[in-house]
Structure 1
Amino acid sequence: MSSSSSTPPWNVHRLPRADGRVFLVTGGNAGIGYFVAEQLSGTGATVVLGSRNPAKAEVASASIRARLRGARVRSVRLDLADLSSLEATVESLGVERLDAVVHNAGVALDDPPREETVDGHELMFGTNHLGHFALTQWLMPLLSAAPAARVVTVGSFAAKSERLDLEDLQSRRDYQPKRAYGRSKLAQMHFGLELDRRLRAAGSRVSSVVVHPGGALDSLTPSRPPLHVRTTGARLGAAPAALLVQGKHAGAWPAVRAVLDPAVYGGRLWGPRVFGLRGEPRPEPLWNHLADTSVASRLWDASRDLADAVPGAIPG
C-alpha cells in the first residue's frame, strides 16, 4: 500500500476502527506485547493473545476488558520454544482468516549459561527467531485468506550494532548472552524483510513490515495492576531518562501503526521519530546491514532447515 494525500495524519491516541478483523499478538500478556494488544483492542477488532502461560494471559485479558468495555480479547497457548506445538496452536485459533500477526514474544537471558529449546536450539535464537519463522509458515493459509493481511515483526534497537554469524547461528562457539539476544532480534528483522520480498515475488496479498520500539523502560510505563505497577519513586527516578527514551506503551506504537495504517506497506522499517528512541512512529531508512539481501537469503535457507518448516507454506 502507498500513502495518499487524502490519508489523515496518524494519531496514536485516535486509532482507526478495525471491526470484524482478527489480530494475533505473540507475547501479548506482558510488556510491549500487552500494550500492542490493549491498543488494538480499542479498535473493535478481535485480539488473540499468544502466551506460554494461560494464567498470565487471562490476567492480561481481564486487564484489557476492565479498561475497554466490550473488548473482544481472548488467548491461546503458544510456546515458540517448542516447534512441534505450533500446528496445534494455529488450529486452536478457530478462525477462518487472520488479518495480522504481531511477532512480539521473546526471551532475553542475562546470565552466562547457554540454554536450549526442546528442539535443541539456542534458546533466544530458537524462540525469538525460529519460533516465529515456523509460526508464520503455519499461519500463512489464514493470512492468505484475509484481504490484505500483515505480518509485523518486532525487532530491537539492540540489533543495530550486531551482525549475524551465519556459521554459528546457535552461538555454540562463543556464547555471550547480550550479543546472542541482539543477533536473535537481528535475525527476526532480516526474516521480516526477506518474507516481504518473497511474498511480493509470489504476488501475495500478504505483506510483511518490520518495527522496533526504540528505548522502552518499565519505569516510564503506566501502571496496569497487577501486570505492572509503577511506583512514585520509579516514576520520579526515571524522569531524566524520558528525554531520550519512553515507556512500553509508547514502544507499542510502531507495531500498532504497522497493523492498522493503510499508508504502511511491506518491506519497510518503522520506529520512534526521535533518534529512533522515542516519540510517535515513522518510517526510517533500513540499517545498512539489514539491507544485505544475501545475508537474509542465506539465513532464510538455514532457518527453513533448522525449523523443519512446512514445505510450500511460504514462497521460496
Structure 2
Amino acid sequence: MSSAPPTPPWSVHRLPRADGRVFLVTGANAGIGYFVAEQLSATGATVVLGSRNPAKAEAAATSIRAHVAGARVRAVRLDLADLPSLRAVAESLEVERLDAVVHNAGVALDDPPREETAGGHELMFGTNHLGHFALTGWLMPLLAAAPAARVVTTGSFAAKSERLDLDDLQSLQDYRPKRAYGRSKLAQMYFGVELDRRLRAAGSSVASVVAHPGGALDSLTPSRPPVHVRTTGARLSAAPAGLLLQGKHAGAWPAVRAVLDPSVRGGQLWGPRAFGLRGEPRREPVWDHLADGSVAARLWDASRDLTGVDPG
C-alpha cells in the first residue's frame, strides 16, 4: 500500500502555492495589509489591493512587484467609509470567483473630537466594522462561487480588554478615541465568529476565520520604500521592544496562514505564538467574550439595520 506523503509543518518562509486563486486585501497600500498582500503574491495567486487612495495603491503594487518576481497584483478603489459605494466593488474586481478576502483596512484616531462618515456613523465603527460587514454581503456571490473561499477578519489584541456597549455602539454618549477603536475591532471579531456560525447553519462552502497581528510596530518593520521607510535611528531605538513585539511583516503572518493553510477551519482565532504578541502564527482559544452568541447576534442585527445589508 502507498500513502500520501506527510504534510510539511507550516512555515511562514515556505508558503504553499496558490496559483489560479484570487485574493482581495482591504487596506493593502500600507502597514500589515501591505505585507499580507506581498506575502500572498509570492504564492502565485492574483492579489487585488483594495485602497481608497489610487496613488498609494499603485505605489504598493510597484513595491510588491519589486520584491516578488512575477507578482500578479492589481488595485481597486475601495472606501469602507462610503457604504453606498461598496456595492460596485464586486463588479470592479472583474472576476468570476473570489477565493478569499482579508478584512484588514482600518482607521485609528488618537484624539477627540468624534468624527463621522458621510453616512453619519462614528468613523472607526463605521469604517472598521460596518464597512467590512457590508462589503462581505456584496462579495458573497463571488466567494460562494469558489470551491472553499475564506473571509479572514483581522482584529486586534487591543480588543481583548474591551467590551461592547450595545446601547451605544457609535459612542454618542461617551466618546473616548482609543476605546472606540478597540471596540470597533472587537465588533469586527464578533462579526467574523458570527459569520461563520451562520455560514455553517446555511451549509455554505465559505468559511470565516478571525486573526490578529499581536504587537506590530512600524519601527520593527523592514523598509519598503516608498510604502514604508525605517530609519537607522528607529531600528536601533526599537531593538528592546523586539523582545516582546514584532514588525508589521510578522503581524501579517496569522492572516496569511488563515487564508492559505488547508488545516484552518471556520470559526477559529489565529494570532502570534508568544503570548499572543509575537512569533509564528498559531491557533488560540476564542476569547471568552467573543464566544457570547447573544452579543454577536444583537450586533449582527444592529449592523444589518445600519447598513441595509445581510452578509448571512
Q: TM-score, normalised by structure 1?
A: 0.97
Match of 1:201 in 2: 201
3-state secondary structure, aligned to 1:160: helix
Match of 1:99 in 2: 99
3-state secondary structure, aligned to 1:225: coil
Could you tell me how far 1:109 is from its partner in structure 2? 0.5
Q: How does 1:148-163 map to 2 (within 5 A)?
A: 148-163=148-163
Q: How does 1:28-43 map to 2 (within 5 A)?
A: 28-43=28-43
Q: How does 1:65-80 map to 2 (within 5 A)?
A: 65-80=65-80
Match of 1:296 in 2: 296
Match of 2:121 in 1: 121
3-state secondary structure, aligned to 2:28: coil
Q: State how far apart, in whole Å, the 1-side matches of 2:236 and 2:117 are.
A: 39
3-state secondary structure, aligned to 1:36: helix
Q: How does 1:226-305 map to 2 (within 5 A)?
A: 226-305=226-305
Q: State how far apart, in whole Å, the 1-side matches of 2:173 and 2:259 are.
A: 38
Q: Is the 8 A contact 1:216 1:248 kept in 2?
A: yes
The gaps in structure 2 that reach 5 residues or longer are none
Q: State how far apart, in whole Å, the 2-side matches of 1:204 and 1:286 are.
A: 22
User: For residues 180 and 284 of structure 1, do their structure 2 counterparts lie closer, same or farther at Cα, with a shift above 3 Å needed?
Assistant: same
3-state secondary structure, aligned to 2:208: strand
Identity level (%): 83
Could you tell me how far 1:269 is from its partner in structure 2? 0.5
- RMSD after superposition: 1.0
Match of 1:181 in 2: 181
Match of 1:110 in 2: 110
Q: Is the 8 A contact 2:197 2:267 kept in 1?
A: yes
Q: Is the 8 A contact 1:155 1:188 kept in 2?
A: yes
Q: State how far apart, in whole Å, the 1-side matches of 2:284 and 2:68 are.
A: 32
What's the CA shift string for 1:45-102, capped at 9, x where partnerless?
A: 0000000000000000000011112100000000000000001122100000000000
Q: State how far apart, in whole Å, the 1-side matches of 2:256 and 2:131 are.
A: 21
Q: State how far apart, in whole Å, the 2-side matches of 1:67 and 1:15 are.
A: 16
Match of 1:212 in 2: 212
What's the CA shift string for 1:97-139, capped at 9, x where partnerless?
A: 0000000000000111000011100000000000000000000
2:27 is equivalent to residue 55 of structure 1: no
Q: Which amino acid aligns with 2:111?
A: D
Q: State how far apart, in whole Å, the 2-side matches of 1:146 and 1:78 are.
A: 22
Which portions of structure 1, spanning 4 or more consecutive aligned residues, are displaced by more than 3 angstroms?
A: none
Q: State how far apart, in whole Å, the 2-side matches of 1:5 and 1:174 are.
A: 57
3-state secondary structure, aligned to 1:257: helix
What's the CA shift string for 1:156-195, capped at 9, x where partnerless?
A: 0000010000000000000000000000000000000000
Q: State how far apart, in whole Å, the 1-side matches of 2:171 and 2:292 are.
A: 21
Q: Which amino acid aligns with 2:302?
A: A
Q: State how far apart, in whole Å, the 2-side matches of 1:190 and 1:8 are.
A: 32
Match of 1:15 in 2: 15
Could you tell me how far 1:7 is from its partner in structure 2? 2.7
Could you tell me how far 1:286 is from its partner in structure 2? 1.0
Could you tell me how far 1:5 is from its partner in structure 2? 9.7
The gaps in structure 1 that reach 5 residues or longer are none
Could you tell me how far 1:288 is from its partner in structure 2? 1.0
Could you tell me how far 1:301 is from its partner in structure 2? 0.4
Range with greater deviation from structure 2 (134-143 or 108-117): 108-117
3-state secondary structure, aligned to 2:209: strand
Q: Which amino acid aligns with 2:112?
A: P
Q: Which amino acid aligns with 1:240?
A: P
Q: Is the 8 A contact 2:41 2:68 kept in 1?
A: yes
Q: TM-score, normalised by structure 2?
A: 0.98
What's the CA shift string for 1:17-38, capped at 9, x where partnerless?
A: 0000000000000000000000
2:119 is equivalent to residue 145 of structure 1: no
Could you tell me how far 1:6 is from its partner in structure 2? 3.3
Equivalent pairs, count: 309
